[in-house]
Structure 1
Amino acid sequence: MDEQIIADIEHWLDEVVIGLDLCPFAAKPRREKRVRIAVSHATDEEALLNDLQAELEHLSDTPAAELETTLLAIPAMLEDFADYNDFLDAVDLWVEQFGWEGELQVASFHPQYQFADTAPDDPGNLTNRSPWPLLHLLREDSLEHVLAHYPDIDTIPERNIRRMEGLTAEDKRRLFPHFFG
């Protein structure tokens, strides 16, 4: 099952995140094989926090030249977006409690991702929809570096929403087979 989960995430990463240029910083580390995809088999929050801690430690202990970022898939729990969103509070506390604040951060992606004040079918939600619940572990130094060299960083979310609004029904079926297949 891990192989299918990883394949689903690789498809999403290559075709959606990189293919649609939603994250202009993702292509280089992916091309250089510095993106780790890990699968958590946790079925409760404590076990998931332990898996998260192990991945944060692994990322922190590995030079950026070898590992830039980690995607931690959560296939056995947090299927409901409200539960996932609530869990993110524990993730933030975990990062702070273990001293990774300022070094590492966690971004969120989920199959049912919904931004506040949007309808569930709002195309903008597709920017953060992934085939599985994910925790994306990022290095803050790397983020600061790329952000310093990227013009008009504030335009990325609006540009990404426009891209999603411009997708045809066929594009959506191809890019998001878990949702539109």
Structure 2
Amino acid sequence: MLEWLFNILAYLGLYYKNAKILFLGLDNAGKTTLMHVLRDDKVAQHIPTQQPTAEEVVIGNIKFRAFDLGGHAAARQIWRNYYTKVDAIVYMVDAADRDRFNEAKKELDALLADEQLTDVPFLILGNKIDVPQAASEEELRTALGVHHLTTGKGTNPVKDVRPIEVFMCSVVRKMGYGEGFRWLSQYL
């Protein structure tokens, strides 16, 4: 009976799950652009994030507080300060910047190894697939070393394992990240 009520309320837009999501990744990966596209459906060029920002965003029946913490080296030092009560991590990688794949892998490895994030689902977005030299999904999975960690893109939630999956996207073309967020929503 209660599930029926929640479904009706969600359909009417009156019920939302609440979540805290961190947008992490190296600088210039597209985190800020994605937050603005999700918030007001507009693509614009942004200056590099100098200090943490937060936005409230609604996708489907998920209302979440998204934190863009910046990706430059100094900003990465404060990421840990935001891990408390986080429901998910969106880790963005510039799929066209192969020169930084090792650096992106190092930061992702550190996040995945952090005890505070042991049970937190990770949505890895390979952004900028609209750029001709962008890596394929397979190449990005290999570069990040996540082949053995990903849990599948299915709609049946996995149990007893941290959900991790890679989705390729183009924020400026508004494609690919929607599938990633639909996948992530089943774990929130």
Greater share of helix: 1
Pairwise TM-score range, normalised by the shorter structure: 0.3 to 0.5
TM-score by length of 2: 0.35
Greater share of strand: 2
TM-score by length of 1: 0.36
